[in-house]
Amino acid sequence: MTKFPKLSQKLILEAKKGYHQFMSEDLIKLDHEKKLYDVVGIQIKTKEHITLNNLFEILKWRQPALPGHFKLNNEKRVKEISKYAYKTQDEEIRVAVLTLIKGVGLPSATRILSITNPELYPTYHKMGWLVLKKWNFLEEEYRLNTNKWIQYLNSCRRIMEKYSISGRELDQILIATYLKHNLNINLQKFVPLDEFL
């Protein structure tokens, strides 16, 4: 087994290219991701709240089946919760408030943040955590809670600042690095990527 690569400018360039190659194998997912960042995210940022339709599009991304309780939301509830989340300056409160939307867990809440502000936010997932741990930015084990998200976000922002990359770019780099260098799983027998994220 080859040694896990160190974070470097060269690795960043290779991983960006690798992510796009990986995603180009599934043009439907690639088009959906592009639409989320280029259209849906801008709509949400302009309105400063999420609509049910926006939420549906976001939850479909990296999630093969929508959570059943997603249907318990109504337009007013989603709008009120998301408006509050976008107004607060506290990162922990922001992500916790988004999880009040039915069907939105911590990973989905971070996807919402990343889609609406890709410069500042990566998405939160186990692959990214494991890569950051290999790079010695994190020491603890991955957990789905807001404290871990804040640790993850702070580590990501240090990397983003040092290498002048966006949260979205770092997210792509983390996924591609994991898939290329740490893939100890057989993708043919693997649970859907979304369940791992």
Mean pLDDT by 10 residues, the chain (197 residues): 79 86 76 91 94 89 70 92 96 96 92 96 94 94 94 97 96 90 49 41
Q: Report the half-sphere exposure of 53 (CA within 13 A, side-chain side).
A: 4
pLDDT in the model for residue 61: 80
Burial (CB count within 10 angstroms: exposed 0-12, middle 13-18, buried 19+), residue 12: buried
**Domain residue limits, the chain:** 9-196
pLDDT in the model for residue 186: 40
pLDDT in the model for residue 183: 56
Amino acid present at 179: L
pLDDT in the model for residue 137: 95
Task: List Cβ neighbours of 24 (8 Å cut-off, separation of 6 or more).
Answer: 30
Angle (deg, nearest 10), helices 9-24 and 167-181: 80
Could you tell me the pTM of the whole model?
A: 0.85
- How many residues appear in the chain? 197
pLDDT in the model for residue 194: 41
* Residue 151 CA: distances (Å) to CA of 115, 132, 159: 20, 11, 13
Q: Could you write out the DSSP letters of every residue in 43-89?
A: HHHHHTS--HHHHHHHHHTT-SS--GGGGG--HHHHHHHHHHHHH--
Task: List Cβ neighbours of 142 (8 Å cut-off, separation of 6 or more).
Answer: 126, 129, 130, 148
Q: How far apart are CA 23 and CA 77, in angstroms?
A: 34
